[in-house]
Chain A
Amino acid sequence: MTKSPMDGMTVKLHDMSLRDGMHAKREQIPVEMMVKIAKGLDQAGVPYLQVTHGAGLGGNSIQHGRALHSNAEYISAVAEVVENAVISVLLIPGMGTMAELQEAYDCGARSVHVATHCTEANTSPQHIAFARELGMDTSGFLMMSHLNKSEGLVQQALLMESYGANTVYVTDSAGAMLTHEVTEAITMMRDALKPETEIGFHGHHNLGLGIANSIAAIGAGATRIDASLAGLGAGAGNAPIEVLAAVCDRMGIATGSDTFALMDLAEDVVVPFMDHVVRADREALTLGYAGVYSTFLLPAKRAAQRFGLPARDILVELGRKKMIGGQEDMIQDTAMTMARAKGLLNA
C-alpha cells in the first residue's frame, strides 16, 4: 500500500460528547455520567473536551431546554476529575454573556468556542477579547458554514482573528457540507490567516460525511477537529471520535489519543446511554440534505407529533424559510402555521 500523504501530520481532537451530545440527550446528562465520560476521555489522552448545555453558556431556557444541572455544576464537577485535558465551553453571543464566561472560567474552563452564524462574526468581538483577557484558548466558531461561500468564510475568519481568536473553525452545523467544499474553505483560510492561527473543523454526520470531511479538513490545513464518542451529538451526531482516531492511526496522523480506549468508552459507556440510536435516520438525513441546523431534529419531531405533521415536512419548510441556529421557537411557529393551512388547527 502507498503511504498516506498525511503521514506525519498531527491533529488535536476536541471531544463534543458532553456539549453537542447534550442535544442528543435532551440536555439530560446526569453529572455523574459527565464525570465518568470526562475521566475516560482524559485517560484516553483526548486533549480538549467541551462541557456545557448543548446551546452553551446561557443555554438553560425554554427555547433550548433545561439541563439537569447548571453549567457551573457540570464544569466544576468535570474540572475536579480531569488531569490533563483542557475543559472548554461554548458561548453564542446573544445568548451567553461575559459574566457567564467568567463564571465558567472560575469553575475551571480554559478554552472557549465563541460561536456566531457564519456571516455574523462581528457580533463576537466583546466575547473573544474578554476570553483572551482571561487567558483562555479562544476559537471563533463559524456556524452553518454551508450558508457562506469560501471567500465569505475567509473574511469572517479574518475578523475573528483580528478580535483575538487563536483558532477559527469551519462549523458544519447542518451536516450539509460536501468534502470538496470543506477542502476549498479551509485551504483558502489557511492562505489568508496568520500562520500561528489554527484552523478547526466541526462536522455533523447527517450525510454520512463526518469522518471524510474531517480528514479533508486535516489535509487542507486544519489542526483541530471536533468529534464525539459514538457520534453523540445533534442530528446524526458529530464525527465519531473513535472512528476518527482509528482512521488517523491508519493514515499516520498523530492524535496523541488511545484509539482502543476511545472504542471501549464509546461502546461500553456512551452507546448504552443513548436515548435513540444516533444515526442518519430519515429526519437527520433531511437536515443534511436541506441544510437545516442539526439541533432542530428533536424539537421538530416533537412538534410533528403534537400538530400531526411529518417531521420531514417541517424541517424542509424551516430550511426554505432560512431559519438558523437559535431559532428553535420557529419550529413550533412553523408547525402551527402549517397545521392551520391543512385544517389541523383552528385559526
Chain B
Amino acid sequence: MEKKHIKLISRTGNAAFDIATYIILAIIGFITLYPMWYILIVSVSNAQYINAGEISFWPKGINFEAYKIVFDNEKIWRAYANTILYTVSGTALQVILTAMCAYPLSRQDFYGKKVLTIFTTLTMFVSGGMIPLYLVIMNLHLINTMWAIILPPAISTYNMIVMRTSFQAIPHSLAESAYLDGANDIQIFAKIVLPLSKAIIATMVLFYAVAHWNSFFPAMLYLNDQDKYPVQVLMRDIIIAGEMTSDTGDVTGSLNIVATNYKYAVIIISLLPILFVYPFLQKHFTKGVLLGAVKG
C-alpha cells in the first residue's frame, strides 16, 4: 500500500516535472520563433495594417508586393549569387585547411606540437586590428577580390581546437596499423581520419557556412565594386536606410520610407537558405560538438 503510494507520488512528481519542462520549453520556443514568424507575416502584410500596428500573430491584407519588388531588384540577385559563391568556396577552403591544421596537432608524435599550439592559440586573444589587417590584405593585392573575403578567416582557431580534440578521440592504434600496411600520413588523414570524422566536419561546415553567410564587414571593407557585394551588405543598407534619414537635408523633406514589409522580405529571403541547412546537419551537429568537447 505504502509502495503504491510512493509510486503514485513519484509518478505525479514526474508528470508535474514534465509539464513544467514542456511549459518552459514552449515559452523558450515561442520567444525564439516569434520574431521570425513576425518578420514573415509582416513581409506579406499590407503596409496600412503594419503602420497601424495591427499585425501581431497573423498577416493582414496578404500580398506579395514586397517580394515582387525584391525579386525585381537585379542588384539583390547578383549579391545573392555572390553570397552563395563566397559561402560555398569559403566554407570548402576553411574546412579543408582547418582539418589539415588540426590533424598534425592532434598527433602525440608530432614534433613541436606544443609550441605550435601555443602560437595558434595566442591568435585567439591577440589580433593586429582592422587597419594593420587591411594593410596586409592591400599589400597582398587581395583588395577587391573574393580572396580578401575567404582567406583571412580561413582557419578559426576555436574551430581548429574543437576539430583537433575530435581527431584525438580516434585511437592512435588505427594509424599505427595503417603504417604497418604501408600507408603514409596523408593517406591516413584522407582515408581513415576524415571518413571517421563526418560529424565534426558537418559541424565545421555549419559553423563556417553560417559565419560566411552572415558576414558583411569584410565585404564592405575589402570589396570596391558593388557587383561583388554579398547580400548582407545590401540588406544592411536597406534596413538602416530608414533609421539614418538625414537631419541635414541631404534628401530634403523626403523621408525615404523603406517600407517595413520590403525590409522584412529581404530578411526572409536572405535567411531562408541557411535556415534550411540546419535540419539536415543537425544530427551531426550535436554529435560533433560533443566529440570536440570530451577533451579540452
The answer to whether A binds B is: no
Which residues of A are in contact with B by a Cβ distance under 8 Å?
A: none
Interface residues of B (CB under 8 A from A): none
